[in-house]
Amino acid sequence: MSILLNKKTSILVQGITGSEGLFHAQQMLDYGSNVVCGVTPGKGGQTATENNLPVFNSIEEAKKEFSIDATVIFVPPRFAANAILEAINQNIGLIVCISEGIPVRDMKKVKSALDNSSSTLIGPNCPGLITAEESKIGITPGFICKKGSIGILSRSGTLTYEAIDQIVNVGLGMTTAVGIGGDPIIGSSMIDILKHFADDEETKGVVMIGEIGGSMENEAAEWIKSNFNKPVVSFIAGQTAPKGKRMGHAGAIISEGSETADAKIKILKKCGVSVAKTVSEIGETMLKLIEE
């Protein structure tokens, strides 16, 4: 078991003929992901990757020949919102957007379309998701993952890798890791992903990595307190970030008191979540919690 993604999930790559899309489509195939085809407008009829996957002009065309469970978007930011909207219109169940730098106004439109659809969006500005030893959608390095019992969810890309690495190194292993993205508007919140982990029998505990900015961690903390029975270890990045400065992620701007790392850590602790003091203690903290 896993969440959202397994080895059977059939995957389409939007932007498969671009350098990023092509490279990562191949990486995904090499990991064992069931990538079946790609889309690049105007490039229909070509093939891509060493596996000679067919390229279509649109998702609509691709759907005539393939059954598509999920799509991953590697499209330049100014076109990415339209790529997401196309996937929503075509009723793709799982949409993963890797692209970074989508204007907020475009994402407002996407969010509104998403609310009126049955699609799940992960990202944008995220590394995607990976189910250990089965399948990956996105750019997470596969070789660091080993099957086990811990689910991972994070707003930051390389911190997701760091958490996976530590969880594997302490011997626990992982089910699925989901990078939800660092932008102000993202498709799936921490609570959305926690709900999936709650239903997954194989997931015995969850690592939840947050950062300064927004209030998603606080809402997740309150939700965990009253709804989630598995152990949760959290880490919040940005404890030393100066106020008012933008630390790379468009989302990581401290604008109100409850958006600082200290405020979030306080609320998480109050709600019974174990908080790793430093980034290097994530794995050990989870190991202790599971052994208890």
Is 147 near another protein (CB under 8 A)?
Answer: no
Which residues lie closer than 8 Å to 175 by C-beta, 6 or more apart?
A: 1, 2, 3, 131, 132, 147, 148, 149, 150, 151, 197, 200, 202, 203
Q: Which two tokens stand for residue 72?
A: 């991953």
Q: Which residues ranging from 246 to 265 are in contact with another protein (CB under 8 A)?
A: 246-252, 261
249 is a catalytic site residue? yes
Is 211 near another protein (CB under 8 A)?
Answer: yes
The least CB distance from residue 2 to another protein, in Å, is 20
| Distance in angstroms between the alpha carbons of the first and the last residue of the chain | 24
Q: Which two tokens stand for residue 19?
A: 């350098």
SS3 state of residue 121 = strand
Check 136, 155, 204, 249 and give the catalytic one.
Answer: 249
Nearer to another protein, 59 or 73 (CB): 73
Q: How far is CA 232 from CA 133, 274, 275, in A?
A: 23, 6, 9
The least CB distance from residue 197 to another protein, in Å, is 20
d(CA 121, CA 13): 14
Q: Which residues ranging from 260 to 289 are in contact with another protein (CB under 8 A)?
A: 261, 277-281
Is 115 near another protein (CB under 8 A)?
Answer: yes
SS3 state of residue 167 = helix
Task: Select the residue interacting with another protein from 41, 141, 146, 192 (CB under 8 A).
Answer: 141
Residue 57: how many other CB atoms lie within 10 Å: 14
| Interface pattern 159-188 for another protein (x via CB under 8 A) | x-xx--x----------------x-xx---
Q: Which two tokens stand for residue 109?
A: 């439109």
Residues 129, 137 contacting (CB under 8 angstroms): yes
Is 191 near another protein (CB under 8 A)?
Answer: no
Q: Which residues ranging from 18 to 47 are in contact with another protein (CB under 8 A)?
A: 23, 27
Task: Give me the active site residues, please.
Answer: 249
- Where does this chain bind another protein (CB under 8 A)? 23, 27, 77-78, 101-106, 108, 111-112, 115-116, 127, 139-141, 143-144, 154-159, 161-162, 165, 182, 184-185, 209, 211-212, 214-216, 219, 235, 237-242, 245-252, 261, 277-281
